[in-house]
Amino acid sequence: MDVHKRNHSSGRSDEVGDEKVGFQAPLSPLARTRPGFQEENDGLLPTSMPNTSSKTASHSLPRKDLKAFIILVILYTLQGVPVGLAFGSVPFILKSKLSYSQVGIFSLASYPYSLKLLWSPIVDAIYSRRIGRRKSWIIPVQLVSGLTLLYLGLVIDESMANPTQNLVRITTCFFLLVLFCATQDIAVDGWALTVLSPESLSFASTAQTVGMNCGYFSSFTVFLALSSPEFANRYLRKTPRTYGLFDLGGYLTFWGWMYIIVTAILFFVPEDPPHLARQNHEKLSSDHYKNESVYNRPVDKTRRYLQDLMHVYDSMYQVLKLPNVQTLVVILLFAKLGFQVNEAATNLKYLEKGLSKEDLSITVLIDFPFEMIFGYYSGRWSSGKSPLRPWLFGFAGRLFAALLAHIILLFFPQIDGEGVPWKLFLLIICQHLLNSFMSTIQFVSLCAFHTRIADPTIGGTYMTTLNTLSNYGGTWPRLIILYMIDKLTLARCEGIVEPYEILSEDMKKECSGAGGRVVFIRDGYFHTSAICITLGVVIWFWVKKKATYLQSLPQSAWRVNKTVK
């Protein structure tokens, strides 16, 4: 939630954070000479270089780009709302009524964010000239997302009341919602490259960071707090009540209408800001730029779109054929196994032990400002000639954070209606911060390594392919891990006339309702955690040798020899 760094850290999953690297087709020669822009908007190509020497360009947003910047922040905020629900709030709510493996089934809803590379070339290649290249996707996808949220607002409370029977419907709805948001993310990322002036391109990532984090934390930390009766009664009300300020259905309905309202406003927002449109028409009117522009060549557009589409997919295939890339892919797919229990189940285990959702959301809120600091220093550390060295350090650090979480939960007292001791709560926060710091180090250093090795002739596709595989390496084990926790757990209901074995969450509630107590004879969390941490240590020693070798290779070892047509 990995919103996506994401992502995705302690509150957000890797899949969310890691997505924000940019999904773009390979740059044309014209685009490579003018960084950040491709064949956009039916002939409107920003043809001036960003003024990197200007202090104002580096530190302040020009007034002419303020409107576009605000629009981008709003669009990214809308994307962050469903992501915060799917990666954060909903699994927490479901865990009180479902088993770990059932929560794992819901985790399938997050897959589109890790796999959006598969259809991102289609979003880039197919569009309506009348509506605009990016708005052709943003408007309909955002409208469908809003309607989906409105539908969920009507049925979600009833479905969540009995999630065992409605798990497939809940998972399907959120899967589609995340799919729509992932598709919208591709289009908005592309629009950000052309809606801002060349000298303001650095603010595109700022809009993305601000918007996604606002949406994510409003759906995670803020929602869990304000929907809690305990939080509302303690801090916001004079007269205690049995419900929070709003429920999940009302929250989804509110954002559904916000989606629709913003979509309606987008109809009146030009895809190309007037000042950029004038600038590009003037430049493209000159013979030099007119001859250089792909839009003034006698090429059938439909044929060109199909060629571009096949070009991207062929580029991916050529990248994956490289032997060194194949070694790196194996590392990316299996490197996160060691801390998967910590990432997927530790917070759920805290809830099972009695830690409130509100306290857990506070740890995420505290973690947020530290992530900004961690990102800065991680970037400085990863800028050297050996970017995988800090990645290996972060690998070991995340294993230690997973071990620390294992130990904390092993000695965690059962909290029955009482607040968590402040010393223990402080220790939980420190464990979250440690995991977040090490996760950020890994994310930043891996991005630096991908940037260094990427073949510049197909840089966008190269980077995106590797980052997608890295994201998927943190996604595919999750369902297996949660299933193992359930299968390795053995619990009994004791304190009643005839003790019996507990096989489901419903049986736990029946036990408590009958006056008994749930006794864990074998806790699958600790067994699975021990297995994963042990595997992680073994993988670390293997990866250390391979990573040292890979980062010592010359750049020619990562080049695609075949010219991709």
**Over the stretch 9-38, which tens digit does the pLDDT of each residue have?**
444 445 454 443 333 333 333 233 333 333
Q: Is residue 42 part of a domain?
A: no
* % of the chain surpassing 90 pLDDT: 33
Q: Is 80 exceeded by the pLDDT of residue 141?
A: yes
| Residue 185 pLDDT | 87
Residue 263 banded pLDDT, cuts 50, 70, 90: very high
Please, which pLDDT band fits residue 4 given cuts at 50, 70 and 90? very low
Cα 361–chain centre separation: 18
pLDDT at 85 over 60: yes
Q: Is residue 499 part of a domain?
A: no
Is 247 contained in some domain?
A: yes
DSSP state of 560: -
For residue 245, is pLDDT > 70?
Answer: yes
Counting the structural domains of the chain, the total is 2
pLDDT at 458: 66
Question: pLDDT band for position 513 (50/70/90)?
Answer: confident
Question: For residue 248, what pLDDT is reported?
Answer: 92
Q: Based on the domain organization, do 255 and 344 belong to the same domain?
A: no
Percent of the chain with pLDDT over 70: 78
Task: Return the number of other C-beta atoms located less than 10 Å from residue 199's C-beta.
Answer: 19
285 and 416 co-located in one domain: no
In a domain, 310, yes or no: no
Based on the fold, state whether residues 107 and 220 are members of the same structural domain. Answer: yes
Q: What is the CATH number of the domain that holds 195?
A: 1.20.1250.20
C-beta of residue 186 within 8 angstroms of C-beta of residue 55: no
Count helices and strands (H / E) in the chain: 26, 3
Whether 40 is covered by a domain: the verdict is no
Kindly state whether residues 444 and 557 are assigned to the same domain: yes
In the predicted model, is pLDDT for residue 266 greater than 60?
yes
Q: Specify the 3-state DSSP secondary structure of 564.
A: coil
Both structure tokens of 273? 């800001």
Enter the pTM of the model. 0.78
Domain residues for the domain of 258 are 66-293
How far apart, in whole angstroms, are the C-alpha atoms of residue 309 and residue 303? 10
User: At 544, is the pLDDT very low, low, confident or very high (cuts 50, 70, 90)?
Assistant: very high
Judged by average pLDDT, the poorest of 103-112, 317-326, 331-340, 356-365 is: 356-365
Examine residue 437 and state whether it is found in any structural domain, yes or no.
Answer: yes
Q: What is the pLDDT of residues 421-465, one digit of tens each?
A: 888 999 999 999 999 889 888 887 887 788 788 776 665 567 778
The answer to whether residues 193 and 337 belong to one domain is no
Question: Residues 274, 356: one domain?
Answer: no
DSSP, collapsed to helix, strand or coil, labels residue 563 as: coil
Domain end position, chosen among 227, 258, 293:
293
Alpha carbon distances (Å) from 212 to 2, 41, 215, 460, 511 = 12, 25, 5, 22, 42
Tens digits of per-residue pLDDT, 197-224? 777 776 777 787 788 888 988 898 888 8
| 3-state secondary structure at position 63 | helix
Q: Are residues 284 and 388 in the same domain?
A: no
> Within 10 A of 296 (CB to CB), how many other CB atoms are there?
12
**Contact assessment for residue 178 and residue 91, using Cβ atoms and an 8 Å cutoff:** no
Q: Is residue 75 situated within a structural domain?
A: yes
What is the chain's mean pLDDT, rounded?
79
Residues 353 and 288 in one domain: no
Higher pLDDT among residues 149 and 441, named by residue: 149
* CATH classification at residue 431: 1.20.1250
Q: What pLDDT score does 417 carry?
A: 60
Q: What is the pLDDT of residue 171?
A: 95
Confidence of residue 196 (pLDDT cuts 50, 70, 90): confident
Residue 17 half-sphere exposure toward CB, CA atoms < 13 A: 27
3 state DSSP class of 493: strand
Length of the chain equals 565
529/525 Cα distance (integer angstroms): 6
Q: Which of residues 258, 277, 293 is at a domain's end? A: 293
- d(CA 458, CA 437) in angstroms, rounded, equals 31
Q: Give the separation between CA 486 and CA 504, rounded to whole angstroms.
A: 9
Assess whether pLDDT exceeds 60 at residue 283.
Answer: no
Task: Say if residue 260 is in the same domain as residue 392.
Answer: no
Last residue of a domain, one of 278, 293, 308: 293
Q: Indicate if 174 and 75 belong to the same structural domain.
A: yes
Label residue 57 by pLDDT band (50, 70, 90).
Answer: very low
Assigned domain for 5 exists: no
- pLDDT band for position 186 (50/70/90)? confident
- Long-range residue pairs from 495-502, CB within 8 A, at least 24 positions apart, any chain: none
DSSP output for 71-139: HHHHHHHHHHHHHHIIIIIHHHHHHTTS-HHHHHHHGGGGHHHHHGGGTHHHHHH--BTTTBTTHHHHH
d(CA 290, CA 293): 5
pLDDT value of residue 459 = 58
What are the residues facing 492 on neighbouring strands? 501, 519
**Strand 500-502 versus strand 490-494 pairing type:** antiparallel
Residues 74 and 198 in one domain: yes
How sure is the predictor about 234, in pLDDT bands with cuts at 50, 70 and 90?
A: confident
Whole-number pLDDT of residue 5 = 45
Q: State the average pLDDT over residues 259-286.
A: 75
Mean pLDDT of 366-390: 71
- Separation CA 15–CA 8 (nearest Å): 5
Instruction: Let me know whether 161 and 76 are in one domain.
Output: yes
CB 257 within 8 A of CB 146: yes
Question: How does pLDDT run across 392-403, given as a tens digit for each residue?
Answer: 999 999 999 999
Helices (DSSP H) in 218-247: which residue ranges?
223-226, 229-231
What pLDDT, on the 0 to 100 scale, is given for residue 174? Answer: 95
**Residue 146: closest CA among 78, 65, 71:** 78
Chain segment 456-498, per-residue pLDDT in tens: 666 556 777 887 888 889 889 999 999 999 999 988 888 776 7
Position 37 scores a pLDDT of 34
